[in-house]
Amino acid sequence: MRKFIFFLLIIGLGVGVLTLRSWYRSGKLQTAVVSTVSQKITSNVNESNLIQKVLGFTKPQTYLILFLNNTEIRPGGGFIGAYGVVKVDKAMPEILKVEGTELLDNLSPQDFPSVPPEPLQKYLPVKRWGFRDSNWSPDFAVSSVKSLDLFKKEKGIAAESINGVIGITPTLLEEVLKIGGPITVNGHVFTAENFTEKLEYEVEFGYAEQGLDFNERKKVLADLTHALMARIRGDFFKHWSQYWALGQRMLAEKQIIAYSTDPETENILLAKSWSGEVKHTTGDYILWVDANLASLKTDKVMDRELSYSFAPTTSDRYAGIVKMKYINKGSFTKFTTRYRTYARVFLPEGSKFISVLGSMKNDHTTDVGIVDMGIENGKQWFGTFISIEPGKTGELVWQFYLSPAVVEKIKNNSYNLLVQKQSGTIASGLTLDLNFGKNVVSTYPSESLKDLGNQIYNYKTDLRLDREFKVNLK
């Protein structure tokens, strides 16, 4: 099923590329549209050169496209259920391959070492690290390098000529349907709200109810593909400004993420924050990373609330607490179950572990789980396992001492915090309760008036985007 959803995304990408090509070659578009689009494309020389390069005007480019299923979240944006390889030459796309990742993993050579990360071995279990599980790092560039490595070893098509990796979540396609409206195929109405679940049901179960043979179960997907192609072709220029805005938003929300093997292009992606990187910072930092391990598509019924607090101690240090509250709103169905996650919190290097509450050995025991820790991307991380039953709420609470570098900044009356969202997640809640032990002079974003003038910074928002905070003290 995943590969056919992804095929629709590839078709949409192809139509978009063809449309971009028309901006270069067609003189028949309305003057106002051409003028505005041209300004957007060419207002920055580096970006203009990037577009030319990406669309294969300088030389053909080949891209590995990953379908990141964010209803089954993984560190790099979602489980890689399917992939495609697309060659672009002068803005003309050629789809070289689209298939489920399990086919590549199961049929590929098994004659090379491929040891999975320990949590995958322990909690799935997975004995061999395959392409579909390759995005274990929350930094998309790091994950992409591993994806390309395994793709080459598994003899993926055009593996030696890949120029970049693009990750897309189904959230993008749902948002496209919000612009153009529902699509009706063979009497089935697909909307932004029901698309993923309905398509999954029709392919996995609905075909049998209609008396169709197993080999015919894909007919609805082919018909839906043609309907979507026709919709985008006829709809793009009518709603081009909405599609443009959607693309910018999906990039900012990390529902589209990209990596380039070309350093110049990758630097532009990094500068635009389109690369899904774990950012290097000199201030305080938090990134919470979940890895759905055998929880089916339960992420679609999970609510998350992240909170961060700290306070000074008598030992001239600051004790911090990062807590994730998990609310499992689902039940035991064909698509949802108990939520099994290996959760990691990334903090500034130098942070010292104190304790954890909520850790579990596995989902069938009350025994306390082990805590893993390490350094990755210049960050200190702590990790453990937790499971939340349907209809229940669970909490995982990390207590630690703040990095000495962060404490020094507080002593110097200047505090900065970056809270990054995990790629593919939607909008987890975020609450800050930061006790500096000294007076707060100004804050960004600003506190409510009733909270000003004390030693604590309180703020509540969400993680639809990465969030930055600044506090001046005295």
Q: Is position 277 within any domain? A: no
CA distance 7 to 10: 5
Q: Is position 330 within any domain? A: yes
Domain membership of residue 165 as a residue range: 2-271
Report, as ranges of residue numbers, the positions in the chain whose pLDDT lies below 70.
1-48, 203-204, 207-208, 210-226, 228-229, 233
Which residues, at least 6 apart from 205, have a Cβ–Cβ distance to it below 8 Å?
A: 334
Model pLDDT, residue 453: 80
224 and 109 co-located in one domain:
yes
Give the number of other CB atoms < 10 A from CB of residue 266: 18
102 and 194 co-located in one domain:
yes
- Please identify, among 271, 299, 319, the residue that sits at the C-terminal boundary of a domain: 271
Model pLDDT, residue 44: 61
Q: Is position 278 within any domain? A: no
263 and 293 co-located in one domain:
no
Q: Is position 279 within any domain? A: no
Task: Let me know if 375 is exposed, middle or buried by CB neighbors in 10 A (0-12, 13-18, 19+).
Answer: exposed
Model pLDDT, residue 365: 87
CA distance 271 to 455: 35
260 and 290 co-located in one domain:
no
296 and 387 co-located in one domain:
yes
- Please identify, among 243, 271, 299, the residue that sits at the C-terminal boundary of a domain: 271
Model pLDDT, residue 96: 87
Model pLDDT, residue 360: 97
56 and 83 co-located in one domain:
yes
309 and 446 co-located in one domain:
yes
236 and 355 co-located in one domain:
no
230 and 312 co-located in one domain:
no
252 and 294 co-located in one domain:
no
313 and 214 co-located in one domain:
no
Taking the CA of residue 79 as centre, how many other CA atoms within 13 Å lie in the half-sphere pointing to its CB?
20
> SS in 3 state form for the chain?
CHHHHHHHHHHHHHHHHHHHHHHHHCCCCCHHHHHHHHHHHHCCHHHHHHHHHHCCCCCCEEEEEEEEECCCCCCCCCEEEEEEEEEEECCEEEEEEEEEHHHHHHHCCCCCCCCCCHHHHHHCCCCCCCHHHCCCCCCHHHHHHHHHHHHHHCCCCCHHHCCEEEEECHHHHHHHHHHHCCEEECCEEECCCCHHHHHHHHHHHHHHHCCCCHHHCCHHHHHHHHHHHHHHHHHCCCCHHHHHHHHHHHHHCCCEEEEECCHHHHHHHHHCCCCCCCCCCCCEEEEEECCECCCCCHHHHEEEEEEEEEEECCCCCEEEEEEEEEEECCCCCCCCCCEEEEEEEEEECCCEEEEEECCCCCCCCCCCCCCEEEEECCEEEEEEEEEECCCCEEEEEEEEECCHHHHHHHHCCEEEEEEECCCCCCCCEEEEEEECCCCEEEEECCCCHHHCCCCEEEEEEECCCCEEEEEEEC
300 and 394 co-located in one domain:
yes
Give the number of other CB atoms < 10 A from CB of residue 418: 18
Contact 294, 124 (CB under 8 A): yes
- Please identify, among 271, 292, 322, the residue that sits at the C-terminal boundary of a domain: 271
The number of angstroms, rounded, from the C-alpha of 433 to the middle of its chain's C-alpha atoms is: 27
pTM: 0.88
Report pLDDT digits (tens) over 305-334: 999 999 999 888 999 999 999 999 999 998
Tally of structural domains, the chain: 2
CA distance 259 to 165: 5
Model pLDDT, residue 91: 75
CA distance 117 to 74: 13
CATH of the domain at 425: 2.60.40
